[in-house]
Chains A and B, each alone.
Chain A
Amino acid sequence: MSDTDLIAATAAGTAALIRDRQVSPEECLEAWLERTAADDLNGYLWRADGESATNGVDGKADSPVAGVPVAIKDIFCTAGVPTTAASKILEGYRPPYSATAVRKLADAGMPMLGKTNMDEFAMGSSNENSAYGPALNPWDRSRVPGGSSGGSAAVVAGGLAPWALGTDTGGSIRQPAALCGIVGLKPTYGSISRYGMIAFASSLDQCGPLTQDVTDAALLLSQLQGRDEMDSTSTGIEGGVALPSAEDLTGMRFGIPSDLIGEGVDPGVKAVFDRTVARIEELGGTVSEIVLPHAGHGISAYYVLAPAEASTNLSRYDGVRYGIRDSNADLTSMYEVTRGDGFGPEVKRRIMLGTYALSSGYYDAYYGRAQRVRTMIVRDFDAAFVDVDFVITPTSPSVAFGLGEKTTDPLTMYLNDLFTVPMSLAGIPAISIPAGMAAPEGGGSEMPVGFQIAAPAFGEQKLLEASFALEKAINFDPSGGRVR
């Protein structure tokens, strides 16, 4: 077994090689650590060595993933290992405990390869808001990998990790997965514990897998899901998650929300979407038009609710208990200077926006109204799922854009999340699978296009089955993303 074969295998394939004793867990880890050392995508903010990778990992775990290493987004607390959420304010922070998701993977015998780059506190859609410079898209290094889980997407697509953990608040797993040509799954809110996951917007944040294929996504989700007494909002997925096996889409009903998709999609992306819809029909699925009348207001509601929650969650960074302290003047000045220096521009913008929306005199007009619009979006999905099993959209309106292309106007960046935010507000599961390639509007070589499928709450198994059958028919070639 050569290292090249090992690196080319999916995570499930690697697990099988270890089980069949064709490769030892030690050899496997060594081969992957050599890969992470070759990271020229700025995908990792911290890389493990042989010792730190296996620290706390159950080497004798009897699990279907034992010995398969994983990359962890830097938003997860990892005991004794630097955790910054890509923010200067947490520079040097080594958490005293690990997130439940991280601990579960260690208990299942999975070594940790490193902590991946991201937008600061998961706020962003391009990874350009990292205090440590952006991760690069392995298909074209002049382009963004998407965000906020950009580092996780870049290392999986680039062949620098077999799979990775990410988080999704408004699209932060699905959009980077789409832009990097891999699979990204945001599970139902509550499926996976949020304990130890640095909070951005607590009613929306959810952890999930970024993987090479749908089978790997199912496998990683099966290890992560479950109720956790440390997170009272966690419920797990009843009955667990099995590896998908559907051969076709017979009897499955897909709905296209034409009112949401509208005109704002790049023609190349639209062409891939239309081709994928045709494939669904070839596989025996039915496709119909549906309406989500309020989903188009998702961005507006989201950019009130998420910053409002963030402004309260981020009040804990005050230079007292962890992270940096930048002043020793009086207490209030210490807070103001530390936070002013420690947070980057996007984080400050969202704290300001959220504080404004919650401030006296504006609460009902912004926060209260956005919460009611959220209810209407939830009802839109409830109504749609009476007639169809799945809602389908392009994951992102364009392919990966150039570094610096959308940084001047925050609103332009926010509108990227148009198709992913409604599912987050409704708390339902949604996956992005690579569906083909399209040339960027401004010119350049072809880049991956993602196809989003959403299902009713806790419909993960059906979602994975449909994605599995469709993935096989699409037969996407990921080799263009591999770092050589």
Chain B
Amino acid sequence: MIEREQVLHVAKLSRLRLDEDEVSRLEGELSSILEHVDRLAEIDIEGVEPTSHVVPLENVLRDDVPRPSLDRDLALSQAPDPHDGAFRVPSPQAEG
């Protein structure tokens, strides 16, 4: 069961501001989804290797040749607040 405090904790980790309705709805929804997912505990996974990727590939490398990358102005063109050749962000210090 997921409790309100856990929802708030995970929201904080996720950098998501949730309103009161969302918090109480997610409590129930995450609980019911995890209840279903908990069936995985029935399976004996002793000695089974995890799969993170299905294609057997290793060390795919390209030749180390310099080449142009994305133009700076183009990269900045979609930013909400580009400034002086950089992405400008608000101060990390909370005000007050």
B30 contacts A233, C-beta separation under 8 Å: no
Say how far A334's CB is from chain B's closest CB, in angstroms. 5
Given contacts A93-B78, A97-B70, A301-B40, are A427 and B55 in contact (CB under 8 A)? yes
Q: Assess whether A339 is interfacial by the CB under 8 Å rule.
A: yes
Given contacts A297-B43, A322-B78, A369-B41, are A190 and B55 in contact (CB under 8 A)? yes
Given contacts A300-B40, A334-B89, A339-B16, are A229 and B62 in contact (CB under 8 A)? yes
Q: Which residues of B contact A457 (CB under 8 A)?
A: 54-55
Residue from the list B39, B50, B78 in contact with A94, Cβ < 8 A: B78
Q: Assess whether A371 is interfacial by the CB under 8 Å rule.
A: yes
Q: Which residues of A contact B92 (CB under 8 A)?
A: 330-332
Q: With contacts defined as CB atoms under 8 Å apart, how many contacts are there between chain A and chain B in the complex?
A: 174
Residue from the list B16, B40, B79 in contact with A321, Cβ < 8 A: B79
Given contacts A330-B94, A333-B94, are A322 and B79 in contact (CB under 8 A)? yes
Q: Which residues of B contact A341 (CB under 8 A)?
A: 17
A228-B24 Cα distance, complex, nearest whole Å: 45
Say how far A439's CB is from chain B's closest CB, in angstroms. 29
B10 contacts A352, C-beta separation under 8 Å: yes
Render B19-54 as a binary contact track against A, CB cut-off 8 A, 1 for contact. 100100010011011101111110101001111111
Q: Assess whether A149 is interfacial by the CB under 8 Å rule.
A: no
Residue from the list B18, B75, B89 in contact with A348, Cβ < 8 A: B18
Q: Which residues of B contact A334 (CB under 8 A)?
A: 89-90
Residue from the list A297, A315, A318, A374 in contact with B50, Cβ < 8 A: A374
A339 contacts B17, C-beta separation under 8 Å: yes
Given contacts A320-B89, A330-B91, are A294 and B43 in contact (CB under 8 A)? yes
B residues contacting the other copy or chain, number (CB 8 A): 55
Residue from the list B14, B39, B50 in contact with A352, Cβ < 8 A: B14
Q: Which residues of B contact A345 (CB under 8 A)?
A: 22
Q: Which residues of A contact B57 (CB under 8 A)?
A: 190, 232-233, 235
Given contacts A330-B91, A336-B15, A337-B17, are A376 and B36 in contact (CB under 8 A)? no
Q: Assess whether A445 is interfacial by the CB under 8 Å rule.
A: no
Q: Which residues of B contact A330 (CB under 8 A)?
A: 90-95
Q: Which residues of A contact B7 (CB under 8 A)?
A: 352
Apart from A203-B53, A203-B54, A341-B17, what 5 extra A-B contacts exist at CB < 8 Å?
A294-B43, A297-B43, A329-B90, A372-B48, A372-B49
A-B contact pairs, 10 of them (CB 8 A): A232-B57, A299-B36, A300-B40, A320-B79, A320-B80, A337-B17, A349-B29, A372-B48, A375-B48, A375-B50
